[in-house]
Structure 1
Amino acid sequence: MHISRRTALIGITATVPLVTTALAAPADAATPSGSAGSSGTTGTSGSSGSADSGVLAVQRWLNTTFGHLHGWVHVDEDGLTGSGTVLGIVQATQSLLGISPVVATFGPTTRRKLEQHGDVGAETGADAATWRRLVQAGLVCKGASTVSLTGEYDAATVAAVQALRSDLGAEPGALPLSAHLFGALLTVDPVRLASGGSRAVRAVQQYLNRTYAEATGGAYGSTSGLVDTSTYSAAIRAVQVAVGVTVDGAWGPGTAAALRAAGPSVVGVGATGAWVLLVKALLVLNGERVVFSSAYSAADAAVVRAFQQFQAFPPAEQTGTCDAGTWAALAASTGDPDRATTGADTAVRLDDARAAAVRASGATSVGRYLTNHQRSGALDKALTPEELRVMASAGLGLWPIFEEGGFAASWFTEEQGVRDAHRAHDAARKLGIPKQTTVYFAADFDSTSAQDESLVVPYFRGVAAGLRDRGNLYKAGVYGSRATCTAVSSAGLAHFSFVAGMSPAWAGNQLEPLPGNWSLNQIQNRTVGSGNGSTEIDAVVDSGRDPGVPAARLAG
């Protein structure tokens, strides 16, 4: 979960967590959000902090009651709530739904069977009390300190359910729980306003839950006031419900096409209603300052126009009206992947035919690699002096990239950053790259906030030191997710950001604003040209901030 960056960018004062009598602050309120994932072959608590007797009782009950099941992953009996305990509740739910073997994942099969089962809490028969205990176990893991595993819906359980509904933004009521509301107990998504969370963001999260979570394929998301992966999924599910496509929480071409075909989705000044609320929800979640309401004003249009300008929309498309391209830019790091672009990058060495094809595609500059990976058998992708002459002749400028191992977290140490800076500098000098050109060092993986802080930023400190060793002839840029680029740039270690936007599934790209110093945004893999000129490129949106090395200077 990427939390601190977004809060700073949203620009809304942090607030004190709300207090709900029946729900104490959950122990995992500040731990990573999202649906509980697989915990592997051994149980884990998935959290840290003080042991809780209620959680310990849940853990012991789960192991005692369900530990014999085929596939069961043991739940650590440590009194610490978190993903391991919640996954135990998931496995127990699967057993009651007839899934065997059970798996430590709250995936599509479990969701589908839960929807088919219907309301939880009104069962009769042999499993009725077990279902009620699962509800109580989930409430305990959400912080309901007054709830016990009685198997009866006592006053404490009813009060906790009412508080859960209120926190999630669901319709008021008590029991039974809808399948989707029970599903909210099968995740570690926080439901309380977290430290550093925004009330404005929380209002949007609750609106999305209240309005769209109960639709087929819907799901309740976090209401912590912090934008996380469950919030992103909830927002995309809302769009999918609105346009009438399969609801899965993943942005793709089907959702984009349906949105483009939905006439009411074009929102301009004077518009009112659900579409306005949805676009304003996305604006708030993207860190924009708008009033969350059902009316679209001239002030809202000004915010959208500035957003379009910052995203480097063509001037004619900077209208302040939320059209298909704007929806796409709000929903996914690619934006509209089919938009015309004037930049490219490629690992393919360019000869005359390929360079001509790339230039004919509309690109005026190309990102190319300074070196090869040092391992045996690595792709030969390194720039050569001859290729620079070819590019200059074709009218193509250059953005130099360095990546020898930046696709794995293990690569990122301060010492490696120093070594990489030396190699990048030496290669650039040998090729005659002009001084003060920005070289983009790659962090080509979905780095978490913790990895940014502990690995990537120290690596870029090493890059800075390595470039100083060589006289600071070149500037460091960063290639990575929006979140990683922001983290490195905020540390003062990157002159420009080359955003890996064509990886919209990366958590570091979901509802993360583009970094303020973004120069390039990679949005789509394309094949240009034909025959001998056929070349695979990544289409790149050029903000105009980094001129790179113009073709005329390459020729010199």
Structure 2
Amino acid sequence: MADALVVRAQKFINDTYGGKLGIPALEEDGRTSWTVMYALTRALQYELGITSLSDSFGPTTLSTLQSKYPKLNASTTPSAKFTKIIQSGLYCKGYNGGGIDGVFSSTVANSLTELMTDMGVAGVFEAGSLFPKVFKGLLTMDAYIVTGDGGTGIRTVQQYLNANYVKRQDYFIIPCDGHHSRTVAKSMLLAVQYELGMADGVANGNFGPGTQSGLKQHTVASGETSTWVRLFSAAMILNQRPNVPFSASFGSALQSAVNGFQDFAKLPVTGKGDYSTWASLLVSYGDQDRKGQACDGVTKITQARATTLKAAGFKYIGRYLTNPLSNDLPEKAIQIGELETIADNGLRCFPIYQTFGRDASGFNYAAGNAAAIAAANAADDHGFKDGTRIYFAVDFDAYDYEVTDNVLPHFKGIEDGMAIAGNRYKIGVYGPRNVCIRVSEAGHATASFVSDMSSGFSGNYGYPLPPNWAFDQIVTKTIGSGDGSINIDNNIASGLDTGQGSFNPRWRRCRTASSTRPTSRGCSPTSRRTCNPSASPRTTAGSTPPPSAWKRSSPGMSP
């Protein structure tokens, strides 16, 4: 719906700066957008005398504004045009600009105070005036009131962070919309770094060695009152943990919530805010020194490697059903005899299906439907039993709109394709947190394999660990030596999925010619595809399989 006041702001920009800002004329449609905010930013730069205009309210704009007009009000605003930019920004943000008449009136002053209150910085800056960092926040699409299904608890944390750290050099006002996000996550890390004593220019919002070392010295526990407890409770709230009071005092309610989170994330349940718990709250991969019970990789599990994995405490091995490029990573797909080696060593395997799919273009309903058929056929060929869960990979940083437009239809296709295949196998999803959460909430997957070591993915920043997580991928490492050396992704296991520890007999009996065991009657010595040469043709997308198409055992072999 068009907003007449936003139309006035758009008209002001077009009439005043037409041909001067290096951008086309704005569409006067009454809709606030980044395009409008960028135009206002360029108009501000123009009025500041900056010659190289850009959409970014960056260091040059901020420093120029700070040096020329560190505090804007009725007495210091340099021109009517300057005030009109402020008024236009207020209208686009939903505040009363008092008209776009170039007068810095009491209405403008009151609206700026209201804006700063919503930002949480009203007690930091003088009421009724506009300061450079507030101006920067004004000319964004960030909201400072709760939007959609945002939470008031998260908004309180956002306002607290703004109020306490906005005067630090590299901290900028974050949204106060009740939603966790990449920006909020970085600001939370900056707050931790500032409390650790890091100087401006050193604190950078990254979870680096200095931050990790510092946090190891700041375990918080029941009975303590401190800023560290406040920040720890903030991190719990941002991770959407229930019943967490935002407080500087570590009481029984916080301790109970910590116990619940530690149990959920498979951390040692201490009831304390120890380093591993801090890490899991602040960054998706958490404490990368944690020892996982699961792993995945692109290397064949030989006897020597199985011995290495078992000695290191691994139980569950993720392996790929297929490899579309056999010359690239030649051992990526499960190799002949490999599942027997896994089973004989008391290990278990969970299958992963991935072809290419490194961007949204590879994800759609038809592709998902075909993927389900191919994965079911491959799982059947390898001997995975009915009820095995196959994890279908979304191995790229899918933005939320791409999840809606591409990934969800793709998994609907997988769901329907698996039905065509007789629903013999369960569906899991591999990907960033947001992908896993949304696919699972849509009912297309029953468990999540979370690519948490990709901490820079937008789908991991600001999202909690999915409720149905089965495996949490946190770091790549090499273990063992000599023939037993193997490069793996170390995964934490929740226990929701334990993979398979035994496989259909044809896998054990359909061996290559070099096998020490005889092949079953009807088995090709060079193929492990089927033990029944008269089996029905493989199921394809769009066909309904007869029961025999999914039972390929030779006479006398167990199904």
2:214 to 248, 251, 259: 259
Match for residue 163 of structure 2? 210
- 8 Å CA contact 2:21–2:46 kept in 1: the answer is no
Task: Tell me the distance in 2 between the aligned counterparts of 1:139 and 1:231.
Answer: 23
Task: Tell me the distance in 2 between the aligned counterparts of 1:339 and 1:433.
Answer: 30
Residue aligned with 1:368, SS: strand
- Asked if 1:513 corresponds to 2:464, the answer is yes
Match for residue 312 of structure 1? 266
Task: Tell me the distance in 1 between the aligned counterparts of 2:334 and 2:65.
Answer: 55
2:372 to 411, 416, 421: 421
Greater CA drift, 404-413 or 118-127: 118-127
Match for residue 540 of structure 2? none
The Cα shift of 1:218 comes to 1.0
Task: Tell me the distance in 1 between the aligned counterparts of 2:105 and 2:470.
Answer: 59
Match for residue 33 of structure 1? none
Superposed CA RMSD in Å reads 3.1
Match for residue 397 of structure 1? 348
Distance 1:379 1:285, change over 3 A: same
- Asked if 1:440 corresponds to 2:388, the answer is no
Task: Tell me the distance in 1 between the aligned counterparts of 2:59 and 2:316.
Answer: 43
Residue correspondence of structure 1 range 156-171 to structure 2 within 5 A: 156-171=107-122
Greater CA drift, 324-333 or 176-185: 176-185
Distance 1:100 1:537, change over 3 A: farther
Match for residue 236 of structure 2? 283
Give 2:360's aligned amino acid: A
Match for residue 221 of structure 1? 174
The Cα shift of 1:294 comes to 2.0
- Asked if 1:301 corresponds to 2:255, the answer is yes
In the TM superposition, what whole-angstrom CA distance separates every residue of 1:241-291 from its partner, at most 9, and x where no partner exists?
Answer: 222335777442246325325x3x321111113222211112122112212
Give 2:36's aligned amino acid: T
The Cα shift of 1:363 comes to 2.7
Task: Tell me the distance in 2 between the aligned counterparts of 1:214 and 1:73.
Answer: 36
Give 2:132's aligned amino acid: A
Task: Tell me the distance in 2 between the aligned counterparts of 1:115 and 1:383.
Answer: 61
- Asked if 1:487 corresponds to 2:438, the answer is yes
The Cα shift of 1:97 comes to 5.9
Distance 1:237 1:402, change over 3 A: same
- 8 Å CA contact 2:359–2:398 kept in 1: the answer is no
1:477 to 416, 428, 433: 428
Task: Tell me the distance in 2 between the aligned counterparts of 1:543 and 1:503.
Answer: 19
- 8 Å CA contact 2:322–2:378 kept in 1: the answer is yes
The Cα shift of 1:157 comes to 0.9
In the TM superposition, what whole-angstrom CA distance separates every residue of 1:72-127 from its partner, at most 9, and x where no partner exists?
Answer: 56544432111111122233344556655333234566556666667242699996
Task: Tell me the distance in 1 between the aligned counterparts of 2:363 and 2:317.
Answer: 26
Task: Tell me the distance in 2 between the aligned counterparts of 1:152 and 1:397.
Answer: 73
Give 1:140's aligned amino acid: Y
The Cα shift of 1:439 comes to 0.5
Task: Tell me the distance in 1 between the aligned counterparts of 2:69 and 2:390.
Answer: 56
Which structure exhibits the higher relative contact order, with contacts defined as CA atoms closer than 8 Å and separated by 6 or more residues?
A: 1
- Asked if 1:191 corresponds to 2:141, the answer is no
Match for residue 407 of structure 1? 358
Match for residue 538 of structure 2? none
- Asked if 1:502 corresponds to 2:456, the answer is no
Task: Tell me the distance in 2 between the aligned counterparts of 1:364 and 1:114.
Answer: 59
Greater CA drift, 70-79 or 361-370: 70-79
- 8 Å CA contact 1:499–1:518 kept in 2: the answer is yes
Match for residue 382 of structure 2? 431
Distance 1:445 1:351, change over 3 A: same
The Cα shift of 1:326 comes to 1.0
Task: Tell me the distance in 2 between the aligned counterparts of 1:67 and 1:399.
Answer: 61
Greater CA drift, 203-212 or 90-99: 90-99
Task: Tell me the distance in 1 between the aligned counterparts of 2:186 and 2:90.
Answer: 23
Gapped runs of 5+ residues in structure 1?
1-49
Residue aligned with 2:478, SS: strand
Residue correspondence of structure 1 range 338-377 to structure 2 within 5 A: 338-352=289-303, 354-373=305-324
Residue correspondence of structure 1 range 137-148 to structure 2 within 5 A: 137-148=88-99
Residue aligned with 1:508, SS: coil
- Asked if 1:331 corresponds to 2:282, the answer is yes
Q: TM-score of the superposition, structure 2-length normalised?
A: 0.80
Task: Tell me the distance in 2 between the aligned counterparts of 1:407 and 1:117.
Answer: 47
The Cα shift of 1:536 comes to 3.3
The Cα shift of 1:138 comes to 2.1
- 8 Å CA contact 1:370–1:402 kept in 2: the answer is yes
The Cα shift of 1:506 comes to 2.5
Match for residue 18 of structure 1? none
- 8 Å CA contact 2:368–2:410 kept in 1: the answer is yes
Distance 1:123 1:507, change over 3 A: farther
Distance 1:91 1:363, change over 3 A: farther
Residue correspondence of structure 1 range 25-44 to structure 2 within 5 A: none
Residue correspondence of structure 1 range 52-131 to structure 2 within 5 A: 52-63=3-14, 65-66=16-17, 68=19, 72=23, 75-95=26-46, 101-107=52-58, 110=61, 119-121=70-72, 129-131=80-82
The Cα shift of 1:71 comes to 5.5
Match for residue 521 of structure 2? none
In the TM superposition, what whole-angstrom CA distance separates every residue of 1:132-161 from its partner, at most 9, and x where no partner exists?
Answer: 333333222211244334443212211110
Give 1:274's aligned amino acid: T
Residue aligned with 1:340, SS: coil
Gapped runs of 5+ residues in structure 2?
509-559
Greater CA drift, 63-72 or 437-446: 63-72
Task: Tell me the distance in 2 between the aligned counterparts of 1:137 and 1:210.
Answer: 25
Distance 1:155 1:419, change over 3 A: same
- 8 Å CA contact 1:191–1:222 kept in 2: the answer is yes
Task: Tell me the distance in 2 between the aligned counterparts of 1:329 and 1:179.
Answer: 34
The count of corresponding residues between Structure 1 and Structure 2 is 501
Task: Tell me the distance in 2 between the aligned counterparts of 1:470 and 1:523.
Answer: 33
- Asked if 1:384 corresponds to 2:338, the answer is no
Q: TM-score of the superposition, structure 1-length normalised?
A: 0.81
